[in-house]
Amino acid sequence: EIVLTQTPATLSLSPGERATLSCRASQSVTTNLAWYQQKPGQAPRLLIYDASNRATGIPARFSASGSGTDFTLTISSLEPEDFALYYCQHRSNWPLLTFGGGTKVEVK
Amino acid sequence: QLQLQESGPGLVKPSETLSLTCVVSGASIRSDYYYWGWLRQRPGKGLEWIAAIFYSTSTYYNPSLKGLFSISIDTSKSQFYLKLKSATAADTAVYYCARVPRPLSGSSNYYYYVDVWGKGTTVTVSS
């Protein structure tokens, strides 16, 4: 089973700052990786698919990169609504979908 | 617009059966392009994939949870279901139903990612 490790667990930043979140896979998932955002009390929503492609309706301040085992989600300038939990997920072992443990982006 | 709506008992006693329903509206559950699935999020924890089903009734389970949960579908009602026999406190969680695109030509680029989620239903297992 491929394990996804997200770091840091918590990121404390101010609005307007740049956020950089990491997801590391225990073995290569090529670019079969997605990122999700989850706000308190809400279901997650798909942000990024195939490692670097924004899903429909996702603002351009969200970008992502990576392949193989190391992936990064970047929020170029944090808006108040961006403070949330972020999860990565790989699809390399269907029917098992595996998620990382999450990174919480909180207001400093 | 597709909407998924979970419903469940809210509170279940230990060792009892947990049954959840997801109603699919705004799109056909009998689509060749999608699986329908369940995930859960235990308190303070991350997301855990449980199972998926295709309208033909093909089922797919998280290997670590197989045998504990069963997933089923009723296309005439546009609903799918999750059942857990003998719930324990460890099954206390928010349960989400979801749509997962299949890897078909002409299908979404989002295959094997979760592209639509329900709002979630909270299940507490306690006596």
Chain B residues inside the 8 Å CB shell of A87: 46-47
Sign of torsion, CA A4 B54 B89 B9? positive
Residue A54: Cβ-neighbour burial (10 angstroms; 0-12, 13-18, 19+): middle
Q: Does A74 touch chain B (CB under 8 A)?
A: no
Do residues B69 and B82 lie in contact, with contact meaning Cβ atoms separated by under 8 Å? yes
Amino acid at B28: S
Q: Does B1 touch chain A (CB under 8 A)?
A: no
pLDDT at B104 over 90: no
Q: Does A7 touch chain B (CB under 8 A)?
A: no
Confidence band of B8 (pLDDT split at 50, 70, 90): very high
Confidence band of B26 (pLDDT split at 50, 70, 90): very high
pLDDT at B105 over 80: no
Chain B residues inside the 8 Å CB shell of A97: 39, 49, 62, 100, 112, 114
Chain B: residue nearest A89 by CA? Answer: B113
Answer whether B113 sits within 8 Å of A42, measured CB to CB. no
Structure tokens that stand for A69 in this block: 């085992």
Please give the mean pLDDT across all residues of chain A.
96
